[in-house]
């Protein structure tokens, strides 16, 4: 019902205020989200988490309480639940070889969430699954052959000739990478309609706290699960309601920073190490990266505060550093901050949760809203992924 209402509202806006998409340019035609049923309130996290893993160390409790306050997160959605821990108590045992159990949980959950997000997206789009020509599938949370892209295609009833691309283990920038590839597909295959899905769960990275691994507690206080889906295509028909044009994409990595974000898969799952220098590395390189993107708008007078912003919130420190470095007005990153509050860091999904909030804000402003904007995400490498987008 909500998706139907949004479609009607978008079409009403289109008749009066919507800008016209450039011919041949990829556009976002619909967006859907999905989450697991278990909702975690940050207020209750410490007691519930420590009880589930049977930890009574007061120093760990104090550290986790501090992290819960500094992350700014209020709610998150998680596949992990008390029922999961009852079924798989070994997940709370230090050093236990549980990769088989973790994948058993994650593989099924990731596809299910991608399926639900895709259904919501397709409903908003208003056309049938038979019109989907390509699938771009992104996840850092499952591992198997064949991959989740095939299982999702079968569940949705896509054509057995749908052209599939799968991205595994790109981390937080995976959603923007998927969007970049979907843009290329849409613009080079006239009439194509690309379903882009991202789906993530932190099951592989869930570990009992250990003083030798302080980042595990950061993950417990920051990360969330969920899925997102977009329909991307060029030259929209009269029945479609594009809300964003994907004008230009850019990716770069920072040489010599491979160890700043480090993830390793073992018998115990995935272990992460995050260097303290990450926010500073991003801050030192972000201005030049943004200027390269903005230059593609073809307007020499466009300033950074003239744009709308969708920035993946790896954590508050990254948003704060970026805001200071680029001299952005506080309201420019409000959608990114609010997504962090509402969902936590949901890895590759997060950029699309932010874009959905940006869409809502721009709809309120109508033609008075910003025309141009940037979408940014950062991840292992250190890799920067960026988009120059145009609001329609």
Q: Which residue among the candidates 68, 121, 172, 290 is catalytic per the annotation?
A: 172
Q: What is the 3-state secondary structure (H, E, C) of the chain?
A: CHHHHHHHHHHHHHHHCCCCCCCCCEEEEEEEEECCCEEEEHHHHHHHHHHHCCCCCHHHHHHHHHHHHHCCCCEEEECCCHHHHHHCHHHHCCCCCCHHHHHHHHHHHHHHHHHHHHHHHHHHHCCCHHHCCEEEEEECCCCCCCCHHHHHHHHHCCCCCCEEEEEECCHHHHHHHHHHHHHHHHHHCCCCCEEEEEEECCHHHCCCCCCCCCHHHHHHHHECCEEEEEEEEECCCCCCCCCEEEEEEEEEECCCCCCCEEEEEECCEEEEEECCCHHHHHHHHHHHHHHHHHHCCCCCCCCHHHCEEEECCCCHHHHHHHHHHCCCCHHHHHHHHHHHHHHCECHHHHHHHHHHHHHHHHHHHHHHCCCEEEEEEEECCCEEEEEEEEEC
Provide the sign of the torsion angle of the four alpha carbons 349, 351, 354, 358, taken in this order: negative
172 is catalytic: yes
What angle do the packed helices 350-365 and 174-188 form, to 10 degrees? 70
Hey, which residues are catalytic here? 172
């Amino acid at each position: 019902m909500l998706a139907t209402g949004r479609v009607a509202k978008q079409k009403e806006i289109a008749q009066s205020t919507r800008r016209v998409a450039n011919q041949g340019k990829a556009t976002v035609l619909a967006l859907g989200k999905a989450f697991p049923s278990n909702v975690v309130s940050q207020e209750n996290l410490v007691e519930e988490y420590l009880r589930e893993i049977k930890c009574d160390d007061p120093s760990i409790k104090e550290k986790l309480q501090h992290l819960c306050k500094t992350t700014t997160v209020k709610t998150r959605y998680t596949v992990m639940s008390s029922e999961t821990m009852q079924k798989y108590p070994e997940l709370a045992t230090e050093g236990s070889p549980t990769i088989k159990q973790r994948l058993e949980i994650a593989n099924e959950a990731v596809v299910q969430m991608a399926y639900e997000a895709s259904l919501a997206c397709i409903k908003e789009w208003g056309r049938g699954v038979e019109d989907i020509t390509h699938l771009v599938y992104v996840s850092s949370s499952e591992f198997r052959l064949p991959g989740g892209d095939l299982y999702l295609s079968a569940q949705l009833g896509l054509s057995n000739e749908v052209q599939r691309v799968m991205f595994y283990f790109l981390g937080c920038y995976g959603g923007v990478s998927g969007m970049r590839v979907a843009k290329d597909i849409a613009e080079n295959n006239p009439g194509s309609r690309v379903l882009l899905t991202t789906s993530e769960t932190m099951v592989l990275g869930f570990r009992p706290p250990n003083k030798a691994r302080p980042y595990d507690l950061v993950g417990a206080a920051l990360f969330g699960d969920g899925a997102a889906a977009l329909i991307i295509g060029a030259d929209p028909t009269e029945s479609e309601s594009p809300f964003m044009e994907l004008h230009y994409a850019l990716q770069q990595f920072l040489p010599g920073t491979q160890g700043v974000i480090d993830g390793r898969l073992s018998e115990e799952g995935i272990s992460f190490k995050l260097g303290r220098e990450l926010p500073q590395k991003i801050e030192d390189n972000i201005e030049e990266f943004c200027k390269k993107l903005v230059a593609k708008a073809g307007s020499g007078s466009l300033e950074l505060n003239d744009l709308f912003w969708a920035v993946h919130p790896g954590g508050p420190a990254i948003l704060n550093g970026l805001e200071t470095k680029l001299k952005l007005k506080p309201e420019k990153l409000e959608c990114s901050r609010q997504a962090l509050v509402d969902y936590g860091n949901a890895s590759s999904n997060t950029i699309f949760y932010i874009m959905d909030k940006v869409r809502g804000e721009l709809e309120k402003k109508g033609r008075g809203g910003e025309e141009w904007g940037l979408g940014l995400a950062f991840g292992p490498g250190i890799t920067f992924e960026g988009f120059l987008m145009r609001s329609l």
